[in-house]
Structure 1
Amino acid sequence: MDIQVTIQGSHDLAGQIYRQLREAILAGRLAAGERLPSTRDLAAQLGVSRKTTLDVFERLGSEGFLQTRPGDGTFIAGSLTRLPPKPPQQPAARATAAPLWDRLPAGLALPRPGTTLPFDFMGGVIDKTPFPFDTWRRCINHALRIQARERGAYRDPAGEQELRLAISRYLAFNRAVTSAWQEVIVTQGAQQALDLMARVVLEPGDVVAVEDPGYPPARACFTAQGGKVVPVPVDAEGIIVEQLPKNARMVYVTPSHQFPLGMPMSLERRIALLEWAQRSGAVIIEDDYDGEYRFEGRPMEPLKSLDRAGLVAYVGTFSKTIFPDLRMGYVVPPSSLLAALLKAKQIGDWHGCTLTQTALASFMLNGDFAKHLRRMHKHYTERRQALLAHLKGELSPWLDPIVPAAGIHLIARLRQGLQERDVVAAAHNESIGLYGISAFYAGEPSQQGLLFGYGGIDADSIDIALGKLAVVLPGLAER
């Protein structure tokens, strides 16, 4: 029999023949039980060497598509009769995700990559330009030399010891969070830390209290783990403890710089939250996502530093201090959860990239991380001042800023009946990326405003963009 095979050029002849024969078998054009020509005849038919056709038959045979009968020839495997010759119009069965995943938002209320504008106030973005990449390259090379000397084996799920030591020292000195290095777990960003905590603490149907407005990826994480997410409003002092559900198993808060509104949780409210958790036995997740950048006032005591009952998990990230694509974070959990979290980490991904962990450890222990933070604090101070000068100046008739003491974004509430969608659309027409706060509410928003992230936009661009915005807003207010 002749087999229709088309050969293009002289590259990868065996691969071309193999792929076409395999497709013909799966599509049913070569039926189960059908006899194939010999490798010699097929080679002559196609004008290739017999070794090429031998290689093709051996590969198809090893994968179960062909069967060889000594003295009789080579045949299409009979087991393939169980496969339909072509996909039915409406397959009787298909792989489906659990209904939960259809209910979760696709973008987690955050802008997608590639959607930035020339003047973009996107939150969660940092400026890589001042980062000391030459120093980082030396740290990477140092890590490569260490890695080359070690045997190829799996590592500690909690992370590299040097990095855990560097993190514990940094937290003790800068954030008043005292812990032994053995209590630190390195994660793939703060999001994995939240996921691990949810996996270990929550049973399906358990109640998780979150701030409202709050961080959408955290809500999605807890929902994906089967938790019942209950939004709790915040006021000028943080989450309103009196409105926490009595049966909450977990509470997620951002006390250093409430996301997205920006105010810190007062000391009185922190103590009230810890007292509530002790009475109810709930676990508190304290997400300190950008508290390193403080611009005024004394830093508030982290919940973790006040915790005497062992109920607070302190979560941090290097996404705002270095860059998000590093994918490095950490959690300092209650000691009672440490063993379970290590099991969950090992089951999830065993451990993160040891090369970048070792490099980051050198970067921190050599003092380069502290130098970088001081340099970035200066840059962000300049940008924050430029932003506030406009918001308190020519933009003040339309925007009412909530001035935070820390962080690299701030919120401005809308005045005079302005609508988020109108302001965002008008700004977009001027090549300005603005983002409303409505998406951060779990339910109906109680206020409208704009999030101004200044991590990824320099002071000169802030001046240009807000100068343009000052021209646009009066027209919107007159509608």
Structure 2
Amino acid sequence: MEPVSGRDVFEFPLSLPARGHGHLTHELHQQLRAAILDGRLAAGATLPATRQAAAGLGIARNTVVAAYDLLIAEGYVSPRQGAKAVVADVAARRDRRAPQRLRAGVEDERLNPMWRTPFLRPDPPRELPERCFRLGIPDHRHFPHALWRRLSAQSLRAWSRTGFSYPPSEGIAELRHAIAQHVAFARAVACTGDDVVVTSGAQQAFDLLARLLVTPGQTRVAVEEPGYPPVRAAFAAAGARLVPMPVDEEGLCVEQLPDDVRVISVTPSHQSPTGVALSLRRRRALLDFACRRGALVIEDDYDGEFRFGGRPLDALQTLDRDGLVFYIGTFSKSLFPSLRKGFIVAPRWARDALVTVKHCADSHSDTVTQSVLAAFIRDGHLARHVRRMRAVYAPRRAALLAALDAELAPWLQPIPCEAGMHLAARIRDPVLAPAILARLPRHMPGAQSIGEYAMAAPAQPAITFGYGVIDAEAIRPATRAFARALARMG
């Protein structure tokens, strides 16, 4: 059999015997049937008219009619009076034909064991009201939508003239330099655009650094406990040996770090999820440990722009004099999560290797949204927006703290926190924790147990409350209702 193009009629090649061969109808029927079963001919697709198919394939029309009739008789194609036949929905039939072993899913032993680990499976999205205590979501009502649309239109016009080539995987130069200026101004991070690698959110930044720094089965990585689960997932997937480290009122307990740890992941500005800041004493101790032990530090500054106390403590990267800190930032909290833009400020010695890893994982970056973000930062809009949102979040934070100090005080004790978009409170009596947490979803939807961030059951149960998308006026009624429900526990 020789391949017959047929792409003008079916969009995929067919291999049919020569005309006059006795099996021509059979071969056409079998190949069209296979195309329907594997999805090349999708449910609802219109089949070409028999005359058109015959002309395109160079065969007799009666052969096409016979093949179509067989497909109709078998239920793969549905005829229509006075119109072209359409492909039937055969998904259920295709599933019945599939061997049972192909449907084993995440338990299939042919998968890498890492991806069969239950704690890495994503939870289904929770149904939550728009205004709630959910963590990590900024308030879209205060975003400058009109301005963003205008900058997007400008970027699209520029892209239509020059943007059809592949952009660099580390990010376009305009955005990298804008990010360098922004973090130098906002967080005193010393860097240039050449030190910045743009990523698809902070999650890709963790993944890239895990690939770069971990030798599978050997590298011991210290992670905060409780801590941000995607960090653990990225390093575990790269083959790291995780070392959970406790967190107290001063942040990561640096004095408990084992000597053989080679990578330390930390959220020093606003610990995720407790909200505490790593003290200056421990910041210096952490950098000293890394220098003495040949370790590296990953600083995740996910929402450090929102400060509500005094002068912020210097970033670890600012204090670093030995090229030990990889600084990660994201625009998911300051702007919006679906922007999918984060970045790494890397030490000079590691930049080329990091760019190589980024190129392997994601060889080219998008141009349009990077150009929009670069202009948004460069023209001062990001700094103004952060100041505006800080003023929006401040009364919400104050209302939540007031409730924790008043009606919720018999059960909850707030954890000191001066930054970010959420705060946490410890449950005073751990014995009551199950009952308190059971009543949480009804009265304060979106709030979470710190146990959801921990690898093991926390010794001190606590609750995290986001205030990014709930108005200050709605906080006190919710906390009072929650307090009444707790009072009825007896």
- What's the TM-score once normalised by structure 2's chain length? 0.80
- Is residue 316 from structure 1 mapped to residue 317 from structure 2 by the alignment? no
> Where does residue 427 of structure 1 map in the other structure?
440
What's the secondary structure of 1:265's corresponding residue?
Answer: coil
> Where does residue 98 of structure 1 map in the other structure?
112
Q: Deviations over 1:79-131 (max 9, x none)?
A: xxxxxx954455799883201111152555xx643521365212111111100
Q: Say if 1:57 and 1:369 are closer, same or farther in 2 by CA, change over 3 A.
A: farther
Which one of 460, 465, 488 corresponds to residue 447 of structure 1? 460
- What's the TM-score once normalised by structure 1's chain length? 0.82
Which one of 447, 456, 459 corresponds to residue 469 of structure 2? 456
Q: Deviations over 1:337-362 (max 9, x none)?
A: 10111111111111332110000111
Q: Report how many residues are paired.
A: 421
Map residues 109-258 of structure 1 onto 2, 5 A cutoff: 112-117=124-129, 120-150=132-162, 152-205=164-217, 206-258=219-271
Amino acid at match of 2:110: T
Q: Deviations over 1:274-315 (max 9, x none)?
A: 111011111100000111000012110111011111010000
Moved more, 273-282 or 463-472: 463-472
Q: Deviations over 1:154-176 (max 9, x none)?
A: 11111111111111111111101
Q: Say if 1:48 and 1:216 are closer, same or farther in 2 by CA, change over 3 A.
A: closer
Q: Is the 8 A contact 2:198 2:342 kept in 1?
A: yes
Q: Is the 8 A contact 1:208 1:251 kept in 2?
A: yes
Q: In the TM superposition, what is the alpha-carbon distance from 1:47 to its structure 2 partner?
A: 11
Q: Is the 8 A contact 2:290 2:324 kept in 1?
A: yes
Amino acid at match of 1:266: S
Q: Deviations over 1:181-203 (max 9, x none)?
A: 11111110111111111111111
> Where does residue 86 of structure 2 map in the other structure?
none
Amino acid at match of 2:397: R
Q: Say if 1:444 and 1:144 are closer, same or farther in 2 by CA, change over 3 A.
A: same
Amino acid at match of 2:196: V
Q: Is the 8 A contact 1:200 1:340 kept in 2?
A: yes
Q: Say if 1:430 and 1:162 are closer, same or farther in 2 by CA, change over 3 A.
A: same
Question: In structure 2, how many angstroms separate the alpha carbons of the residues matched to 1:198 and 1:127?
Answer: 31
Q: Deviations over 1:368-398 (max 9, x none)?
A: 1111111100010010011111111111111
Q: Deviations over 1:48-81 (max 9, x none)?
A: 54222343689xxxxxxx9xxxxxxxxxxxxxxx
Question: In structure 1, how many angstroms separate the alpha carbons of the residues matched to 2:357 and 2:27?
Answer: 54
Q: Say if 1:339 and 1:465 are closer, same or farther in 2 by CA, change over 3 A.
A: same
Question: In structure 2, how many angstroms separate the alpha carbons of the residues matched to 1:38 and 1:404?
Answer: 72
Question: In structure 1, how many angstroms separate the alpha carbons of the residues matched to 2:157 and 2:48?
Answer: 51
Q: Say if 1:209 and 1:417 are closer, same or farther in 2 by CA, change over 3 A.
A: closer
Q: Say if 1:54 and 1:261 are closer, same or farther in 2 by CA, change over 3 A.
A: same
Q: In the TM superposition, what is the alpha-carbon distance from 1:237 to its structure 2 partner?
A: 1.6
Question: In structure 1, how many angstroms separate the alpha carbons of the residues matched to 2:26 and 2:135?
Answer: 64
What's the secondary structure of 1:433's corresponding residue?
Answer: coil
Question: In structure 1, how many angstroms separate the alpha carbons of the residues matched to 2:362 and 2:203?
Answer: 14
Which one of 273, 281, 285 corresponds to residue 260 of structure 1? 273
Question: In structure 1, how many angstroms separate the alpha carbons of the residues matched to 2:398 and 2:418?
Answer: 12
Q: Say if 1:210 and 1:145 are closer, same or farther in 2 by CA, change over 3 A.
A: same
Q: Is the 8 A contact 2:134 2:445 kept in 1?
A: no
Map residues 241-390 of structure 1 onto 2, 5 A cutoff: 241-390=254-403
Question: In structure 1, how many angstroms separate the alpha carbons of the residues matched to 2:48 and 2:396?
Answer: 70
Question: In structure 2, how many angstroms separate the alpha carbons of the residues matched to 1:314 and 1:198?
Answer: 14
Q: Is the 8 A contact 1:420 1:450 kept in 2?
A: no
What's the secondary structure of 1:231's corresponding residue?
Answer: strand
- Structure 2 stretches of 5 or more lacking a match? 1-7, 16-21, 29-46, 60-66, 68-95
Q: Deviations over 1:190-240 (max 9, x none)?
A: 111111111111110211001111111100110001101110112222212
Q: Is the 8 A contact 1:119 1:431 kept in 2?
A: no
- Is residue 473 from structure 1 mapped to residue 473 from structure 2 by the alignment? no
Question: In structure 1, how many angstroms separate the alpha carbons of the residues matched to 2:310 and 2:378?
Answer: 28
- Is residue 36 from structure 1 mapped to residue 50 from structure 2 by the alignment? no
Q: Is the 8 A contact 2:171 2:198 kept in 1?
A: yes
Question: In structure 2, how many angstroms separate the alpha carbons of the residues matched to 1:215 and 1:458?
Answer: 26
Q: In the TM superposition, what is the alpha-carbon distance from 1:247 to its structure 2 partner?
A: 1.4
Question: In structure 2, how many angstroms separate the alpha carbons of the residues matched to 1:459 and 1:418?
Answer: 31
Amino acid at match of 2:207: D
- Percent pairwise identity: 43
Q: Say if 1:57 and 1:463 are closer, same or farther in 2 by CA, change over 3 A.
A: farther
Amino acid at match of 2:51: R
Please give the root-mean-square deviation of Cα atoms over the aligned residues, in Å: 2.9
Q: Say if 1:409 and 1:107 are closer, same or farther in 2 by CA, change over 3 A.
A: farther
> Where does residue 53 of structure 2 map in the other structure?
52
Question: In structure 2, how many angstroms separate the alpha carbons of the residues matched to 1:92 and 1:369?
Answer: 48
Question: In structure 2, how many angstroms separate the alpha carbons of the residues matched to 1:290 and 1:304?
Answer: 16
Amino acid at match of 1:414: I
